[in-house]
A and B are shown apart, each in its own frame.
Chain A
Amino acid sequence: MRFIEIKNCYKVYKNGVAAIADLTLNINKGEFVFVIGASGSGKSTLIKMLYREEKPTKGTVEIGGINVGKLRNRTVYKLRRKLGIVFQDFKLLPKLTVYENVAFALECLGMKSKEIRPKVIKALDHVGLKEKLRSFPNELSGGEQQRVCIARAIVNKPKLLICDEPTGNLDPKTSMEIMDVLETINKELGTTIIMATHDKEIVNRMKKRVIVLDSGILSEDHEKGSYKAHESI
């Protein structure tokens, strides 16, 4: 069942840089997809178009039947509430505790505090941070901060989890731990995951679908592919 449909999509920035060119791509519900490519290959632009930080210049990007490019700036939040986003730099609010950071995503929806608490505890349990509810982000290690970020992304049970180089700032061991967390979420919750990465080890180990971008063009698309096939990147 198709969940994401990208058709003949182009993205040209105001300064004339063509980041994505004629991209056509389908992703099914429950898939785990890696997006790889050299720096400047358009990975980040593709990810940003998925959460509508950027609009396609031409073509369509549809997520669960919603034409993302057609959304107005002021209604983008409706899409974001259905997505979970994980960033390389975590993007946690430094003045809020772990619990508050995760609860924040639900408070935005106007959910009752009574409903929020069990959901936040459950999400933190998923990422193995139930014991650090009251810690502030600067009291956590990089891996732990990323796990808080994942908990925040999944707390509202999104159908799609978008990860923009989530292991970019982490050591190999911690990166693997994060990947285990993501794989569990993918398997247990059936969440579709799209992850942009540079990390060879991870791609090799996970044996998931791999999409390779080269200068904004979809150059390869492998089921259960690996980085070995793309060592030029």
Chain B
Amino acid sequence: MKAFRIFIRSIRDSVKSIFRNFSLSIASILCTTITLILVAIAIVITINVNHITDDLEQELTIVVYADADTSDERLDEIEKEIKNISTVSEVVSKTKEEWRLEMQSYSDTLNTTLDYLEENPLLDSYIVTVENVDDLRPTALEIREIKNVESANYGEGMVEEIITIFDVIKTITIVMVVALIVVTAFLISNTIKLTIFSRRNEIEIMRLVGSSNTSVRLPFVFEGFLLGILGSIIPIIILIYGYLIMYEKISNSSSLSIIELVRPMPFVLLASLALLLIGCVVGMFGSARAVRKYLKI
């Protein structure tokens, strides 16, 4: 019961203290707000860059052609053999007839030329999708070993280059977010440190009248927690409304609609939760660490 009373009083004191040290509280809240806005922007960029590159990678496929004189039974067997490869996620067969119809639809010249030929010169094929983009090359090599496979192409050279570029972009954006979170933690906890420095007399007096270290620390930790929450309100509002507006604008735009952003729900909610957590966890630990300096432990 005693501990509960101390706990409740700590919450009361932390709320009082925010108002009684108003200018310092505003400084901490603004610092948290500004840095969390930067973190929110970094999160939006990172998640979307990852989303777009993942989408583009999904488009990368292997096109497999069978030999010209392969029987229908053998074509079915080839499809099964490709499906049996563990890295393959999907195989879509495309017969030479389908190719011919598709090509004939491209232009009149092609249409006439293909009509003129008695026999279809095109090859039966399969469009193979792999589970992981890194499996493209080994899978293509494995398919080439299958009997009656004429070729298996995935755009050697160019694909590897694209994947490398995407990987670099992903790494850069993730490093950016992590660095920003570290900077945020540092900035917020430093601001709190300054506010606590100006109140070190208060801590000294608390200790002199018989407060235990825990009961000195508790109100400051709650205060850090509350300042973190207050500081994350504006970034969360900006994130939610900003993202919804941006998503709508880009989706409705004729020139930008090619960019497919992450759907706002549940993304904005999860990102808001992350901002809130960063704000209050950094606030709490920043306070606890700063107070520790003035407690003789």
Contact = CB atoms under 8 A, between A and B. Distances in A.
B181 to A, nearest CB: 33
Interface in A187-206: none
B208 interface: yes
Given A77-B212, A107-B9, A108-B215, A93 B205 contact: yes
Contacts of A14: none
Contacts of B211: 77, 108
A85 B210 CA distance: 10
B256 interface: no
Contacts of A92: 205
Given A93-B202, A110-B6, A77 B210 contact: yes
Nearest to B208: A85
A105 B6 contact: no
Nearest to A51: B208
B117 interface: no
Q: Which of A51, A91, A108, A111 has the most CB of B within 10 A?
A: A108
Contacts of A76: 207, 296
Contact of B205 (A74, A91, A156): A91
A80 B6 contact: no
Contacts of B208: 51, 80, 85, 91
Interface residues of B, number: 24
B249 interface: no
A173 interface: no
A105 B210 CA distance: 7
B210 A91 contact: no
B18 to A, nearest CB: 11
Interface in A50-98: 51, 73-74, 76-78, 80-81, 85, 91-93, 95
B204 interface: yes
Nearest to A100: B16
B182 interface: no
A152 B205 CA distance: 11
Contacts of B21: 95
A108 B214 CA distance: 10
Contacts of B20: 95
Contacts of B6: 107-108, 110
A110 B210 contact: no
B266 to A, nearest CB: 43
A79 B2 CA distance: 18
B13 to A, nearest CB: 9
A109 interface: yes
A152 B209 contact: yes
B2 A77 contact: no
B3 interface: yes
Interface string A100-140: 00001101111110000000000000000000000000000
Contact of A74 (B17, B201, B202, B297): B297
Interface string B198-228: 0001101111111111010000000000000
Q: Which of A78, A91, A152 has the most CB of B within 10 A?
A: A91
Contact of B204 (A81, A91, A109): A91
A156 B6 CA distance: 17
A107 B216 CA distance: 11
B5 A108 contact: no
Contacts of B204: 91
A229 B259 CA distance: 94
A123 B272 CA distance: 50
Given A95-B20, A95-B21, A110-B3, A73 B210 contact: no
Contacts of B17: 95
B249 to A, nearest CB: 48
Contacts of A95: 17, 20-21
A109 B210 contact: yes
A112 B5 contact: yes
A112 B297 CA distance: 28
Given A91-B201, A95-B20, A108 B206 contact: yes
A95 B212 CA distance: 21
Contacts of B215: 108
Given A95-B21, A108-B215, A110-B6, A81 B210 contact: yes
10 closest A-B pairs by beta carbon, nearest first, are: A110-B2, A81-B210, A80-B210, A95-B20, A105-B209, A108-B211, A73-B296, A77-B212, A110-B6, A110-B5
Interface of B: 1-3, 5-6, 9, 17, 20-21, 201-202, 204-213, 215, 296-297
Interface of A: 51, 73-74, 76-78, 80-81, 85, 91-93, 95, 104-105, 107-112, 152, 156
